[in-house]
Structure 1
């Protein structure tokens, strides 16, 4: 079975995807972490996000793997490093590059071919897994998404101004929706869920009602 979950930053995709994967005994693949890995590589190689050719080279050389919630890139664990505000800010810079997306989409599709997966990102239902058994699009008010991100960062000891976070998320939304390659879109057959004001359990229950064929 394949479950595709799309939506903007802070809508709850990753948290919900992990919960669903655990419930159904499926494998969770965090596609966003893969793009974060490439952004992290660029930052380590001189912070030049204007050199498209070098970014493509780094993407070709990158060996990305997962062990549960742990993320590895080039045989080094980068689970915490790829979640910093700096990496978050530059992830859309690498995700917009056609060749980078093509390289990672090949890996994502290969993984989904060999496993039952819950996959989240921006273009899962539209590009990566267009034939997924279930497609969901999660969204939420931008202020609530900023509050969630602020709480998440504070739990890791990172303090960020709420208004700055809101502006960064809005900028990332614009980048994700307007890029040429794999933009953030709601596909026609996606089940749209507004997570504003809803708990993780409430959102999971709604999604499970569709997956299990029970009317919510």
Structure 2
């Protein structure tokens, strides 16, 4: 990170899958008029490209090369991979599970690190993921660790999938989510963990608006304006 970019403020929002961090990050960024980074999308895009290209998902170097060569663009709600909108494809559970697996590969994380840091643009960035506050933006003035009960998260994901027209089984999602949580929290490289200076927010019983307000209140408590 260069000196000029480190002066651009960042709010990081880390947490387990389906904790709502993506939705919260977008809403906070909208309130502040900032850029948003969905880091998970980059790992999901890599997983999709690995699958589409027939790359061996166990070959860490080959997977990292796929990530290095990704032709990606974020255009509002559209996620473009080589000119094709794959926003719905990368949200499928099989892609999410593959993304969780390959996310443990050090060469892949290295390949995506600078690409993620390049999103740090004025007037500010809200970045969501699993290691935003611990690895990617350790100097962020506000770090949020968003938690939620695993069953509440599974129910949210089940609802999201059904609303998008995908079939979903709650018990299967719950099992997959527990396995993914364990994998994310115990991986050797950049495990899912709250940064020492992060503010932990449990969104299990909070609405989206309430959670967004908690984050904005933390931001304003640092002496910054809460919104545009």
**Cα offset, 1:114, TM superposition:** 5.5
**Cα offset, 1:65, TM superposition:** 2.0
- Partner of residue 4 from structure 1, selected from 9, 12, 24: 12
- Identify the residue that residue 35 of structure 1 maps to in structure 2: 43
- Identify the residue that residue 98 of structure 2 maps to in structure 1: 90
- Identify the residue that residue 46 of structure 1 maps to in structure 2: 54
C-alpha contact (below 8 Å) 2:55/2:62 kept by paired residues: no
The DSSP-based 3-state class of the residue aligned with 2:36 is strand
The 4+ residue runs of structure 1 with deviation greater than 3 A are none
Task: Tell me the C-alpha RMSD between the 2 structures.
Answer: 1.4
Aligned ranges for residues 65-144 of structure 1 at < 5 Å?
65-112=73-120, 116-144=124-152
The DSSP-based 3-state class of the residue aligned with 1:185 is coil
Structure 2 unaligned spans of 5+ = 1-8, 223-228
Q: Which moved more, 1:174-183 or 1:124-133?
A: 174-183
Normalized against structure 1, the TM-score is what? Answer: 0.95
Q: Distance in 2 between matches of 1:126 and 1:80?
A: 29
Q: Distance in 2 between matches of 1:143 and 1:47?
A: 34
Structure 1 unaligned spans of 5+ = none
Cα deviation 1:63-120 (Å, max 9, x = unaligned): 2221122212223221111111110111112211111111111111122156611000
| 2:171 corresponds to 1:150 | no
Q: How has the CA–CA distance of structure 1 residues 160 and 183 changed in structure 2, closer, same or farther, with 3 Å as cutoff? A: same
- Partner of residue 15 from structure 1, selected from 16, 23, 32: 23
The DSSP-based 3-state class of the residue aligned with 1:171 is helix
- Identify the residue that residue 24 of structure 1 maps to in structure 2: 32
Task: Say how many residue pairs are matched.
Answer: 214
Q: Distance in 2 between matches of 1:80 and 1:90?
A: 16
Aligned ranges for residues 174-185 of structure 1 at < 5 Å?
174-185=182-193
The DSSP-based 3-state class of the residue aligned with 2:119 is helix
